[in-house]
Amino acid sequence: MADTEMRPEASRLETLTEDYTREPVPAHVNTRGLQIAIIQCAIGITLPVLAYSSWLAQENGLGSANFGFWAGSWIVALISVFSGMVGAQSRLSTYMILQFSFGRTGAKLVNLLMAVILLGWYAVTCEEFGLAISQALETMLGIDLNVQLATLAGSVLMALTTIFGFQMIEKFSRFSVPLLAGFMVYVALQATGSGDVALDWSRSATAEAEVSLISTVIGLFVIAAVLMPDFTRFCPNSRESIIASVVGLGFTFPMVALLAAIPAVRTGESDLIMIMAGMGVVFAALFVLVFATWSTNITNLYSSTLTLSTIATKVPSWKLTVLGAVVATAAAMGGLAGEFTTFLLFIGVTTTPLVGIYVVDFFLIRGRDYDLRRLEAAPAIGWPALVSWALGSTLGYLTENGLLSLTGLSAIDALIPTALLYFVLAKLLGRRA
C-alpha cells in the first residue's frame, strides 16, 4: 500500500490488471453466473472441440454421439457444481484453494503440473491456429502467409488480451460468443434442411461404445470443472456459481458439440474449413476459426497465469502472462503439437482427482473455513492429499488404458476413490492448518 501511495503512476498497470490471484476476491467485485456461462461457452467453441465432436459423430452416428455429448457434459457439470461452490464461497482461485489440502510446497508441485498442461494447450492451439489461418488464406484468397508468422502474430494478440485479466476475457466473450453461436446455429440449420435423406438420430452404437464415448466427452471437458473456481470466485453466492456450471457446462458444451456434429455428418467431413466449404460459407468459417480459437486460448493463458502466480509470488500477473506466452509461443513455433498432444492427454487424467480432494477438504474436513492466515502455520506438504492424488491418477491411467475398470469412465474411476481415500487419510492423520 505504501508503494502505491508513493508511486501511483508506477503501479497503474498493476492496478488495471489486478485479478486477485493470491487473495480473496473482494465482496464488491462480482459477476453473474450467466456471464461466466458465456465464458464457458466461448471455451467450448474451439478448434479441438469442434473437430473432435465432428469425428465422434461420424464414428458413432449422430444419435449416439448426441447422447454421449449430453451425458458426458452433465457429469462434468455435476462435478463443476461442487468445485464452483468452493470458488464462490472461498472467493479464492483454484491454485490458492489447493494449498489448504496439499500444503504450500505440495501445491506448488500440482500448480507446476497444471501450468505445463495449460501452457501446452496454449502452444498447441496457437500452432493449429497459425496453420489453419495460413491454409485458409491460401485456399480462399491465394495469400501465402508463413505459418510461424501467423502463429506468432496470433499469440501476441492473445497475450495482450489476456494481460487485462478476467474483465477483458468477460468483455471479449460478451462480444464474440453471440456471433459464434449464431453462426453455428445457422450452419446447423442449413445442414439439417439440406440433402435428400433426413438425419438419422437413432442410437446405433453399442452400449460399450457409448460408455467409451461418454468417457471421451468427460475427458474433453473436465478441465473446465477442475478450474471452475477461477471463475466462480467472482460470483456473489453459490446460486450464481451453480447457474454458471449448469448452464455453462451442462447446456452450452453439449450444444456446441452437437452444432458441430450436424454439418459434419451431413458433409462427411471433420475438418472445419472443409465442412464450411461444403456448406458454402468459407469466409464466415475463417471468422469463426479466429474467434473460436482466440476465446479458448486467452482462457488457457489466463489460468496458467493464476497457476504461476502461486509459485512466483512476487511477480506481477501481467509479467507472468508475458513469460508464459513467450515460452509457449516458442514451443508452438518449434512444432510442439506433433509430440505434445499425447502427453497432454495423459496428464489430463491426473487433474480430475484434484476436484475430489479440494471439495472434500473444503466441505467435510475444514468446514468451509479457508482463511489464508491459517496457511502460515500449515504443514509444507499435505501428505494425505498427495497420496490420494497419486492413487487416483494411477487408477485413471489404468482405466484409460483398459487395464482396470470400476465404472468404465476413467474420470469417475479417478475421482471417487481419490475423494474417499483423502477423507479417510485426512481424518486419521490430521490436517491442522
pTM: 0.82
Distance CA 106, CA 118 (A): 19
Q: Confirm whether 329 is domain-assigned.
A: yes
Rounded (10°) angle between helices 47-60 and 253-267:
60
Helix H or strand E encompassing 292: helix 282-309
- Measuring CA to CA, how many Å separate 46 from each of 49, 112, 207? 6, 25, 29
Q: Which residue range forms the structural domain that includes residue 419?
A: 29-429
CB atoms within 10 A of CB 337: 18
What number of CA atoms fall less than 13 Å from residue 346's CA on the CB side?
Answer: 8
CATH of the domain at 108: 1.10.4160.10
> What integer pLDDT is reported at residue 410 of this predicted model?
83
CB 110 within 8 A of CB 102: yes
Supply the DSSP symbol for 39: H
Distance CA 151, CA 182 (A): 27
Distance CA 343, CA 31 (A): 35
> What integer pLDDT is reported at residue 196 of this predicted model?
56
Q: Confirm whether 34 is domain-assigned.
A: yes
Q: Confirm whether 16 is domain-assigned.
A: no
- Residues 6+ positions from 6 with CB-CB distance below 8 Å: none
Q: Confirm whether 179 is domain-assigned.
A: yes
Q: Confirm whether 111 is domain-assigned.
A: yes
Q: Confirm whether 17 is domain-assigned.
A: no
* pLDDT tens digit at each of 433 positions of the chain: 333 343 333 344 344 345 677 789 998 888 999 999 988 887 777 777 887 888 889 889 999 999 999 999 999 999 999 999 999 999 998 888 999 999 989 988 888 888 888 888 888 888 878 877 887 777 777 888 888 898 888 888 888 877 765 555 656 666 666 777 787 888 888 887 666 566 878 888 888 888 888 888 888 888 899 989 989 999 999 999 999 999 999 999 999 999 989 988 888 876 676 677 677 776 777 776 677 677 778 878 887 887 788 788 788 877 888 888 899 889 888 877 666 556 656 767 888 999 999 999 999 999 999 999 888 888 899 999 999 999 999 998 888 777 888 888 888 899 999 999 999 999 998 744 4
Rounded (10°) angle between helices 282-309 and 94-141:
150
Distance CA 242, CA 247 (A): 8
3-state secondary structure of 433: coil
Nearest to 260 by CA among 244, 236, 279: 279
Q: Confirm whether 5 is domain-assigned.
A: no
Q: How many domains does the chain have?
A: 1
Q: Confirm whether 165 is domain-assigned.
A: yes
Distance CA 222, CA 217 (A): 8
